[in-house]
Amino acid sequence: MKSNTENSGSVLILVMVVVLVAMALGTGMVTLGTQSRLAAIRQADDIGARSAADAGLELAVRQINNAVENRTWMPLLRPHYEHVPIEGSEATFSVDTSYSASDGYLLQSTGTCGSRQRTVQSALRLRGLFEDAVLCRDSLSLKSGTVIQCIDSRISMNPTDTNEKVVIGTNSVEDSMVMLNNKVIVDGDIVVGVGGNVNTVIKDQGATTGDRYSLPRDVDFPPVDPPKLFGPDSKIEVKNGAKTIGLGGDYLPIGRFAGISLKQGTQLRVVGPCVLYVTGDVNMGQDSEIYLEPGHNSSLKIYLDGNWASDNNSGINNGTQVPSMFTLYGTGDAGQVIDLKAKSDFYGTIYAPNANVTVFSGGDLYGAFAAKNFELKNPANFYYDVALRDVSVHDEGSQFVVSRWNEN
């Protein structure tokens, strides 16, 4: 009986120990589960707060750029939001904005979700259509002996007077979209599409360049719409000699025209600021030219729906020698063809993201190009003008973009 009593006491103690151990394990598991759930909640709230902060920043930038696009922007535009809810979420965001002419925009967006809060600060700068020397949606081809460098026309036309480097490239990731023939020299970098392999996208036949890398994001080619101009909807024609476009000239300096036709050896003189919307084609006969007269504040912007065809030794003669004074906007459908001859040095810019642009240079090129496909048919010295980055909200296609940001 004594032995049975002792055995019963040992079993009871063992059971109590097991129960206590089970209780401790259960309590630990409950505590661990609770902590895991709390950590998951905090992590989810943290993600929600960051997403809300990003949403506030995106909304503010969109509001600013909508005003720029609609030509209603003013320095007093400073988006401000207080505790704006995110649909389908418990998160909210608040945004404060400051602006100065010298520093641009500084935005602070704070997202809140549950017990978590995240803040993103971002600086915005104004970006134009010609941030880089040559950018294409698809192919870019440079002939043997081409040299591409930077100048700053605000200082001089000498590339040794600026330390800036050029950027050329493509949005594409397909093979051989950037063709660099023998002895091409690019004083700067070459970019390819997001995730593209520079060794396959770039076909190098013996070029000298700077760095080569894939873009962190696709290049944006914002659409450019022709201005809403009145007629006369007739053609600008020069059959012999010369005619003038400008105040007091043969053609009005601002208007919508059905086309431009220059016969062999003729000249169209541009006097003063001129803006043309050409709904048809431009045809330049052999030895003809469009001449921007210096000394008259002459400039020419052409919005072109049709194609541009040039015969031998014809071209744009920009007497101002300032690249920003001549701009051609290709506003036609996909497949638009722009075929330019340069009878002398070319000073100007071409923005035609849906067009196939071909340039036959008769001298050096100064300016910038954006196209679907771009080909330089013969070797030339091409100087990208960094002054083209100096834009205002009134310039075509300009928009505010994030220049730097940090997160708290």
The pLDDT-based confidence of 290 (bands split at 50, 70, 90) is very high
What burial letters (b/e) apply to 167-198, b meaning 16+ CB within 10 Å? bbbbbbbeeebbbbbeebebbbbbbbbeebeb
Amino acid identity of 341?
K
Least confident of 5-9, 29-33, 221-225: 29-33
Confidence grade of residue 40 (pLDDT, cut at 50, 70, 90): low
- The fraction of the chain above a pLDDT of 90, given in percent, is 78
pTM equals 0.85
| pLDDT confidence of residue 33 | 56
Query: How many CB atoms are closer than 10 A to CB 361?
Result: 23
Whether the CB-CB separation of 222 and 397 falls below 8 Å is answered with yes
- pLDDT for residue 320: 95
What's the pLDDT band for 20 if we cut at 50, 70, 90? low
DSSP notation for 106-127: EEEEEEEETTEEEEEEEEEEEE
Residue 332 structure tokens: 């036609």
Supply the pLDDT for residue 84. 95
pLDDT in tens, 159-194: 999 999 999 999 999 999 999 999 999 999 999 999
What's the one-letter identity of residue 3? S
Write the DSSP symbol of residue 104.
E
- Higher pLDDT pick, 16 / 197: 197
Is pLDDT at 326 greater than 60 in this prediction? yes
Decide: helix, strand or coil at residue 399.
strand
57-111 pLDDT tens trace: 999 999 999 999 999 999 999 999 999 999 888 899 999 999 998 889 999 999 9
Q: Which candidate, 319, 297, 302, places its Cα nearest to that of 254?
A: 302
44-to-8, 37, 51 alpha-carbon distances in Å: 53, 10, 10
Confidence grade of residue 15 (pLDDT, cut at 50, 70, 90): low
Q: How many CB atoms lie within 10 A of CB 3?
A: 7
Statement: residue 115 has pLDDT above 90: no
**What is the reported pLDDT for 42?**
73
Q: Residue 8 — very low, low, confident or very high, per pLDDT cuts 50/70/90?
A: low
> What pLDDT digit, counting tens, does each position of 140-161 carry?
999 999 999 999 999 999 999 9
pLDDT of residue 22: 60
Q: Give me the pLDDT at residue 25, please.
A: 59
DSSP 8-state class, residue 408: -
- Residue 157, beta-bridge partner list: none
Residue 139 pLDDT > 70, yes or no?
A: yes
Please give the DSSP secondary-structure letter assigned to residue 161: G
Which range among 79-83, 228-232, 305-309 shows the weakest confidence by mean pLDDT?
A: 228-232
Average per-residue pLDDT for the chain: 91
pLDDT at residue 102, rounded to an integer: 86
Residue 9: is it exposed, middle or buried by C-beta count within 10 angstroms (0-12/13-18/19+)? exposed
Please report which confidence band the pLDDT of residue 405 belongs to, taking 50, 70 and 90 as the band edges. confident
Q: Is the pLDDT confidence value at 29 over 60? A: no
334 and 312 in contact (C-beta within 8 Å)?
Answer: no
The yes-or-no verdict on residue 128 having pLDDT over 90 is yes
pLDDT the model gives residue 296: 87
Q: What is the mean pLDDT of residues 267-290?
A: 97
Phi and psi at 96, nearest 5°, equal: -120, 145
Going by pLDDT thresholds of 50, 70 and 90, the confidence category of residue 9 is low
Q: Checking phi first, is residue 30 left (phi over 0); if not, alpha (psi -120 to 50) or beta?
A: alpha
Q: Would you say residue 18 has pLDDT above 80?
A: no
Nearest 5°: CA angle at 385, between 363 and 380?
A: 25
Residue 278 forms beta bridges with which residues?
Answer: 257, 304
